[in-house]
Amino acid sequence: MPTPQPVRVFIGSGEASLLERKTLIHSLRKHTRRPLDLYVFNGTHNAIEHNDEAPVLANLPLWIKYRNFTEFSNYRWLIPEICGYEGRAIFLDSDMVCLADIGELFDADMGGCAMLAKAEAYKGASAWGMSNVLFDCSQCRFPLEEIFRQIDAGLYSNTDFHQMTPRFLEHHPYRLGPLDPAWNSFDRFEQGTRLIHYTNLRTQPWKFPGHVHEDLWFRSFEDARKAGVISAQDVDKTLSRGYARQDILDPVRGSVAGSGGGRRKRSFKQFRRSVLQALGLRKHAA
């Protein structure tokens, strides 16, 4: 039997998202028997980390890096070039958990499209959600310097580019098709969800209590720790830099951001106490 083609996955990340990135990577590996060819865009260092190889500098002009919405926004457009404009590749944001075989997405029928992405991702806008993209690299070339000069000239906006709106596509007519929505479920989990994306920055479980599906993320995080994918050093470094909630190893569950009485107040008090304890300031807690 021939060896299956490796599933080529690129993850957008940075030093601040180390824990969620490694949680995602473990979830990808856990649910597939296919070999994975993993690339991490580390926007903090303008670097690409490929499997277990030493990091290399990304071929992204500094003035374009500075136009990122996040640390890694513009790196996804390098993917076809990195792949030699051949084959397929998947791009994922780091704030996701995969719940199914990523090989199924990699092998999806693209119907001749250059990219599959989340259709009508944002209310009131004809826009694509590009946080999970399946690329046909042979059909995708992104002349970034030209694109950003056109942005500066007012032909379209950076948002138009990153959401592939009609205004952008008038100038660069890439053909996009709809990704199965189960592969990019914004903050929701239901029967059939293949990948959940924690998009609400105020309730991302590794930062704050209150996400309705926080338990799902913490189970994935603990799986990654037990498997040795996330080390004690990873956790210590993340906490010392303030990139995650200080009680992440023993998290307070439940909403502190919603409305309503005693439970919310007790949850907040418990959360505050745990944070102060972790910082060695417990004696000052009220």
Kindly report, residue by residue over 29-41, the tens digit of the pLDDT. Answer: 999 999 999 999 9
Beta strands in the chain (DSSP E): 7-13, 36-42, 47-50, 56-57, 88-93, 96-98, 115-118, 129-136, 176-178, 185-186, 195-197
pLDDT tens digits in sequence order for the chain, 286 residues long: 567 789 999 999 999 999 999 999 999 999 999 999 999 999 999 999 999 999 999 999 999 999 998 889 999 999 999 999 999 999 999 999 999 999 999 999 999 999 999 998 887 678 999 999 999 999 999 999 999 999 999 999 999 999 999 999 999 999 999 999 999 999 999 999 999 999 999 999 999 999 999 999 999 999 999 999 999 999 999 999 999 999 999 998 765 444 333 334 444 455 455 544 544 544 433 3
| Strand arrangement, sheet containing 185-186 | 96-98, 195-197, 185-186
Q: Please count the other Cβ atoms lying within 10 Å of the Cβ belonging to residue 100.
A: 16
Name the pTM for this structure. Answer: 0.87
Task: Show the domains of the chain with their CATH numbers.
Answer: 7-186 (3.90.550.10), 200-284 (no CATH)
Contacts of 165-171 with C-beta under 8 Å, sequence gap 24+, read 165/125, 165/126, 165/127, 165/128, 166/126
